[in-house]
Structure 1
Amino acid sequence: MEIETGSESVTQKDAKHSEDATGPKDAKGRHLPSAPAIWSESPRSLRRSPSVRRSLAVSVAGCVVLGGVVALLRLDTGGKGAPPALGPAGRAMAAAGAGAPAALPDLTVLIGEREAHLRKHPGDDESWAVLGAAYVERGLRTADSAYYPKAEEALRTSLKTRPEGNAQALTGMAALANARHDFRGAKKWAESAVKLAPKRWSAYPALIDAYSGLGDAKGVGKALETLRELNSAASAVMARSGQVYRDRGWREDAASKLMDAAALAEGPAEKAVCLYRVGELAWERGEPAEALRYYEAALVSDPDHHPSLAGKGRALAALGRTSEALRSYQSALVRQPAPEYALALGELYESLKLAPAARAQYDVLRARVKQEGVNGVNEERILGLYEADHGDAEAAVDRLRAEFKRHGSPEVADALGWALHRAGENEEALKYATRATDKGPRVAVFAYHRGEIERSLERYGAARRHIGEALLLNPYFSPLLGPAAREAMKSLGEPPEGGPEQMYAPPGERPAPLPSPSPKPSPTKPPAQS
């Protein structure tokens, strides 16, 4: 499969070289050679490369940046009322038209204005679609799933008002299903939107998210290729490409695309998303100081970008700045009480031997998952990971088996494999762990989980390789599992000498070699003639 990269077409085999000609440059116009060089630059000194400046000249409106759901919808109102002036609501619509997420205060005003408009004009199907998409984005950005039933009602009202040809509402329904982690539903809605309006590129990001949640790498690639053909110049498409490249392990390409997207971004919320993603790449490379710089730069751009606040807490913990890390996590949870943040903070407390504080966060996690379930959000993977390590491993297996049948992504495969290991089912666990490492992104936690499963199966060479890989990728990947990985490597010891046949047991645990059989007598041969 080919993927268009700027003016080039590259295969997966050589895609890691595809950004050389158009990658970021330094202040003198020289190409930065690799991702480490990219990260050595200050986030505030982002410069637009010539390719980005050319992109600015031809940039078109209407793109989605990751969570920018409002950007799924057109800026116009189809003649059913003048667009809002460029006050807060106008800025939110303008951000959507430019392919950017809206600032949270502007999004709030837009919601209020659309609600007021619809009380007077309940037959305005496009305003219902705009309102529904705005509810979805606000729910995502604040982790308040109470907005999702409102979004569904608004979007279904739009579809009821205009049941035929309503690509906007179909796309909004796809975004809502993705937000609820209902990736099969999202696939259905997004494919319907694409079928109805194949040249309307704003449906393709939702389709990419759905395919990714289902573990359909081929579908992701095809949808991304079409998206790039329809609108390769927009910063949002660059950011989307960067995320897909990251998932494929093409980290240098991902960094290049995300840096260009950040340089191209015009709004603070859009720039924050891109900087956060670059910070995530730095974190996954095991560079917490670099990651921290990008998270902080994202928060300077948009103080309401709560994922960067949680990322900051994680990076500070890795750097030993524990009090600051706790404050960052606590602030993130107050502003965006996502279950994954409660799990991360609980495990940080547990690593600090603060068991009561850890239990309190785990209680928060369970309460949030329950509340989100009421609003139609599927948090089975997060709950399964929690149960595997801190609760009932067998219950986690049952939960994650069902989730894998629904959504067979590498992330769910990893969680199921780990739960099976914790429940003592290591042979089956290895099947899922292998699937996660083979088909998913190259991240430390996947490698560690696989290595521990292999260690339990006494496949010591493979265990040493994968646990070592986890620590090489990111020695700070977890406040609990990182130290466990280092202890595991100590117990495995150094690779024994003597070749591959001795690689599957640590020194002192290898069985005694079997006695060599006596060689069979060879037939008598006449002496060689001199």
Structure 2
Amino acid sequence: MRRLPLAITTTLLCGALAAVGVWQERPTANSAASSDNARRDSRPLAGGSLPQAITADQRRLRVAPDDASGWARLGGEYVEQARLSADPSYYPKADEALHRSLTLAPKDNIEALTGLGALANARHQFAQARDLADQTIASAPLHWQAYAVLADARTQLGDDTGATEAVQALLDRQPGTASFTRAAYDLEQHGRTDDARRALQHALGGAFDPADKAFCQYQIAELDRNAGHPDQALTGYQQALAEDADYTPALAGKARAEAALGNTSSAVRDYDSAIAKVPLPQYLLELGELHQSLGHADQAQEQYRLLDAEQRLAAANGVVDDLTMGQYHADHGDPAQAVRLLRAEWSRRHNVLVADALAWALHRQGADTEALDLAHQAQHTGWPNALFAYHRGEIEHALGRDAAARDDLTEALHDDPYFNPLQAPRARADLTALTGTT
């Protein structure tokens, strides 16, 4: 397996954490319910500081409308506010502010170019984000924020080697929260979960701000949850919330862990609270599937309706995301529509998440031979992903490859017995049928 040349155990990871704002967004791990589970939520700015910064910059720009740097800064703040609030209506505002900055200062405007790259990533226009980051780096090779944008874009595009190189370049220039967490994600994707944990623990050890600490605690808890340890994960999410009670990703993580541990009433309550703060599609789909697993059909359909509405709103504001609705349709809607959406997404980026989702949609449509090839592509990085293994096992079972199916379903349930409230029970039932045990 290709090894990431990150000096996890050296002083490279011992620098102080940096406040990165918009540049901190990073990909996330698997979810049966997330759009890009490639994209874990990043730490928020300290309470109220971002809205105050936006207001202050708006006020300054009314007085000095020719301030190119001010427009670039405001554009970046709009991207960050969209991420924190899950309100995509900030994206057109960001686009306008950043392009106004470029109009005022068209040459070597690295702040505006980097902001546009972050905006492109947020809108899932990953090829554009990569190109903007490359353009920025060509004129300012020490501008570390551009490497964060580049790492995210290459990860989403499925350029594994390029993503690793960008993360290493980011570490070399700015060892801090943005680089540690991207390094951890890259390591996790390549099956190096112990190294990923060490990277996050280094980051936590250097954190002083409560928001930074909450962010790191949350990411460590995510590793525990994805490894099938919801009790440890729950403790980690609670520690994150103790550091920063307003950190919504930890509240949603707490709900996931509670659901896995059978405390479904608390899980529903915490999901509702998280969605009230930040209505991310991931949270809506996860809560819908939890309700469905509990036999709450009306409540599940309400979450799915809200999911569709959120996706339509995102599309109206320039977000290109066929992955989320493709995942939804594969399990809860029209598999043929899922295949159409996911083929479109695959044409734009060969990311392992898209490979897995398209494989599953093809299986649901009955095209299992093509599905299996994509399912194998989804595992090429070595990511220990229970959902991927479950999908692969079910596809193999449909093709009559029972020995391989047994191995993959066993792997899924070993990696995380609670990976999904609907599909984990199916995996157990199918594995029992294949092995002839009870």
TM-score normalised by length of structure 2: 0.92
- What's the offset of the Cα at 1:101? 4.7
Q: Which SS does the other structure have where 2:419 is aligned?
A: coil
Spell out, residue by residue over 1:151-180, the C-alpha distance to the aligned partner (whole angstroms, 9 max, x if none): 111111111110000011111111111111
1:67 maps to amino acid: E
C-alpha spacing 1:422/1:311, structure 2 compared with 1 (3 Å): same
- What's the offset of the Cα at 1:305? 1.8
1:337 maps to amino acid: P
1:115 to 33, 44, 58: 58
Structure 2 residue 242 is the aligned partner of structure 1 residue 300: yes
1:382 maps to amino acid: T
- What's the offset of the Cα at 1:141? 1.2
Contact persistence 2:114–2:146 (CA under 8 A): yes
2:15 to 47, 55, 64: 55
Q: Which SS does the other structure have where 2:15 is aligned?
A: helix
Q: Equivalent residue for 2:6?
A: 5
Distance in 2 of aligned mates of 1:466 and 1:60: 41
- What's the offset of the Cα at 1:271? 1.9
Distance in 2 of aligned mates of 1:143 and 1:307: 12
C-alpha spacing 1:65/1:286, structure 2 compared with 1 (3 Å): farther
Contact persistence 1:236–1:261 (CA under 8 A): no
Q: For residues 354-503 of structure 1, what are the structure 2 equivalents within 5 Å? A: 354-439=296-381, 441-493=383-435
- What's the offset of the Cα at 1:438? 1.9
1:168 to 111, 122, 125: 111
Higher RCO structure, 1 or 2 (CA under 8 Å, sep 6+):
2
Moved more, 474-483 or 375-384: 375-384
1:209 maps to amino acid: D
Q: Equivalent residue for 2:31?
A: none
1:472 maps to amino acid: H
C-alpha spacing 1:147/1:215, structure 2 compared with 1 (3 Å): same
1:67 to 25, 47, 69: 25
C-alpha spacing 1:428/1:100, structure 2 compared with 1 (3 Å): closer
Distance in 1 of aligned mates of 2:13 and 2:316: 47
C-alpha spacing 1:230/1:477, structure 2 compared with 1 (3 Å): same
Q: For residues 83-94 of structure 1, what are the structure 2 equivalents within 5 Å? A: none
Q: For residues 224-239 of structure 1, what are the structure 2 equivalents within 5 Å? A: 224-232=167-175, 234-239=176-181
C-alpha spacing 1:235/1:338, structure 2 compared with 1 (3 Å): closer
Distance in 1 of aligned mates of 2:428 and 2:43: 42
Spell out, residue by residue over 1:455-490, the C-alpha distance to the aligned partner (whole angstroms, 9 max, x if none): 000000110011110000000000000000000101
Contact persistence 2:68–2:101 (CA under 8 A): yes
CA RMSD across the alignment: 2.0
1:55 maps to amino acid: G
Distance in 1 of aligned mates of 2:330 and 2:14: 50
Contact persistence 2:22–2:77 (CA under 8 A): no
Structure 2 residue 158 is the aligned partner of structure 1 residue 211: no
Distance in 2 of aligned mates of 1:356 and 1:345: 12
Contact persistence 2:394–2:405 (CA under 8 A): yes
- What's the offset of the Cα at 1:339? 1.2
Q: For residues 32-181 of structure 1, what are the structure 2 equivalents within 5 Å? A: 51=11, 55-56=15-16, 66-67=24-25, 101-181=44-124
TM-score normalised by length of structure 1: 0.76
Distance in 1 of aligned mates of 2:18 and 2:408: 45
Distance in 2 of aligned mates of 1:301 and 1:248: 30
- What's the offset of the Cα at 1:300? 1.9
- What's the offset of the Cα at 1:275? 1.2
Q: Equivalent residue for 1:81?
A: none
C-alpha spacing 1:366/1:215, structure 2 compared with 1 (3 Å): same
Contact persistence 2:189–2:381 (CA under 8 A): no
Spell out, residue by residue over 1:397-451, the C-alpha distance to the aligned partner (whole angstroms, 9 max, x if none): 0110011001110001110000000011101111111111223622100000000
Which structure has greater helix proportion?
A: 2
Distance in 1 of aligned mates of 2:123 and 2:54: 20
Spell out, residue by residue over 1:12-69, the C-alpha distance to the aligned partner (whole angstroms, 9 max, x if none): xxxxxx64xx5xxxxxxxxxxxxxxxxxxxxxxxxxxxx599634xx7786876329x
Contact persistence 2:43–2:214 (CA under 8 A): no
C-alpha spacing 1:390/1:60, structure 2 compared with 1 (3 Å): closer
C-alpha spacing 1:301/1:402, structure 2 compared with 1 (3 Å): same
2:80 maps to amino acid: E
Distance in 2 of aligned mates of 1:125 and 1:200: 18
C-alpha spacing 1:257/1:272, structure 2 compared with 1 (3 Å): same
- What's the offset of the Cα at 1:127? 1.0
Query: May I ask how many residue pairs the two structures share in their alignment?
Result: 421
Q: Which SS does the other structure have where 1:5 is aligned?
A: coil
Contact persistence 1:387–1:393 (CA under 8 A): yes
C-alpha spacing 1:325/1:473, structure 2 compared with 1 (3 Å): same
**5+ residue gaps in structure 2?**
27-41
Distance in 1 of aligned mates of 2:167 and 2:145: 12
1:480 maps to amino acid: L
